[in-house]
Amino acid sequence: MMAKKPLNIGMIGYGFMGRAHSNAWRKVGNFFDLEYQPVLKAVAARNKAKAEDFAARWGYESVVTDWKQLIARDDIDAVDICVPNDLHMEIAIAAAKAGKMVLCEKPLARTTKEGEKMVAAVEKAKVPNLVWYNYRYVPAVTLIKQIVASGKLGRIFHYRANFLQDWTINPDVPQGGAGTWRLDVEAAGSGVTGDLLAHCIDTAMWINGGISDLSAMTETFVKKRKHAETGKMAAVGIDDAAAVMCHFENGSLGLFESTRYARGHKALYTLEINGEKGSFIWNLHDLNRVSWFDHSVEGQLRGWSSILVTDGDHPYLGKWWVPGLTIGYEHSFVHAVADFIEGLSTGTPASPTFREALETTKVCDAIIKSGKTRKWVSVA
């Protein structure tokens, strides 16, 4: 085996995404043949004791309590941002200025304005960059993308997607603080739109192209929640639910729904695309499978088929086990890392780059605007 060059990772944050990303950095070299081997150099977090625990569990060599110290270090090649959205811009710009590669958890930013500054910074510094829209990297979803791009579905008429959860129905769930910062508009920028719908929009535009205009309905069901940091009741500024209809640039129609109030649904992401010659359906709870309808099959035998996406010639699957054996949610992050590292060698960047992910942020901004004004909004 060829000796690999080290790629020194500096992780900022240690929450749910810090774990998902660390797992990916650790595993990728065991399964993918890459020129670079990630080395978990340092983790930055304010709480030293917790950061030390995290470092010990995941194998980080060192801990710092200020992300600025991490960015200042010469032995860090890539900075991985896994902190709440209000910190993305400042950290990403500082990291790019320091010449580091930057990987940022989704959504890119709270607003288009912030996102544009981040894009300008990484492009000025010419540093490799990626936003972790991980569901693109589920092999079944990648397969849909590839088949649609081959033209097999013909003209596309419809794209629809949902991302449903139910964890904020209880009005006692606070806003702000670790774990619940997603309910604080200052920290998150928006509610389900930036957190959940952004995944649907990213995948949709990747598979079906740009969105030109949209009309959205947004709602905040619980208007006041205690703020975890101040302990005081405060107005809730996020959208709890969003439903969107839109035009894609290719003339097809889109329908999207996201909510944290769909009782019984913990994290159900479903997508469907309907073309002249065929359709695909996928859902996160059966993530190795796609349903496929091929209209070219002779009449009496025509129907929905269920494809188990585990063969060696399916996207990424040749690197894992043997046909018929399934993979899971965490593997999507491993694939993102594999493509990112591969891109360092080939010069073809993994997607979405900051610039590509900015398009999703623009759509999210348009959704929030339309929800407030109750008018159709063009996506700038």
Element (H, E) at 65: none
In the complex with ligand SOE, which residue's Cβ is closer, 235 or 267? Answer: 267
The tokens describing 274, both together, are 């309907």
Q: How many residues bind ligand SOE (CB under 6 A)?
A: 4
Report the distance separating Cα 261 and Cα 173, nearest Å: 13
In the complex with ligand SOE, which residue's Cβ is closer, 185 or 377? Answer: 185
- DSSP tag of 193: I
Q: Which residue is nearest to ligand SOE (CB)?
A: 195
**Per CB under 6 A, does 178 bind ligand SOE?**
no
In the complex with ligand SOE, which residue's Cβ is closer, 175 or 252? Answer: 175
The tokens describing 54, both together, are 């995290």
In the complex with ligand SOE, which residue's Cβ is closer, 111 or 165? Answer: 165
Report the distance separating Cα 159 and Cα 203, nearest Å: 11
Whose structure tokens read 């936003």?
131
Minimum distance between the CB of residue 173 and ligand SOE, rounded to whole angstroms?
12
Element (H, E) at 41: strand 36-44
Minimum distance between the CB of residue 182 and ligand SOE, rounded to whole angstroms?
6
- Cβ neighbors of 376 (< 8 A, separation 6 or more) are 213, 214, 215, 370
Minimum distance between the CB of residue 102 and ligand SOE, rounded to whole angstroms?
18
Report the distance separating Cα 338 and Cα 32, nearest Å: 7
In the complex with ligand SOE, which residue's Cβ is closer, 182 or 355? Answer: 182
In the complex with ligand SOE, which residue's Cβ is closer, 125 or 268? Answer: 268
Minimum distance between the CB of residue 326 and ligand SOE, rounded to whole angstroms?
19
Report the distance separating Cα 45 and Cα 59, nearest Å: 15
CA dist 116 to 108, 188, 351, 357, 361, Å?
10, 17, 17, 10, 10
Site string for ligand SOE, 151-170 (x = CB under 6 A): --------------x-----
Q: Quick one: 122 exposed, middle or buried, by C-beta within 10 A (0-12, 13-18, 19+)? A: buried
Q: Which of 195, 202, 339, 365 binds ligand SOE (CB under 6 A)?
A: 195
Minimum distance between the CB of residue 263 and ligand SOE, rounded to whole angstroms?
15
Minimum distance between the CB of residue 110 and ligand SOE, rounded to whole angstroms?
14
Minimum distance between the CB of residue 38 and ligand SOE, rounded to whole angstroms?
22
In the complex with ligand SOE, which residue's Cβ is closer, 165 or 310? Answer: 165
Does residue 307 sit in helix, strand or coil? strand
Minimum distance between the CB of residue 174 and ligand SOE, rounded to whole angstroms?
15
Site string for ligand SOE, 210-249 (x = CB under 6 A): ----------------------------------------
Among positive and negative, which fits the CA dihedral 89, 95, 97, 100?
negative
Interface residues for ligand SOE in 257-276 (CB under 6 A)?
A: 267
Minimum distance between the CB of residue 303 and ligand SOE, rounded to whole angstroms?
32
- H helices of the chain, in order, are 16-31, 48-58, 67-72, 88-97, 112-125, 139-149, 185-188, 192, 198-208, 329-346, 354-373
Which spans of this chain sit near ligand SOE (rule: CB under 6 A)? 165, 195, 199, 267
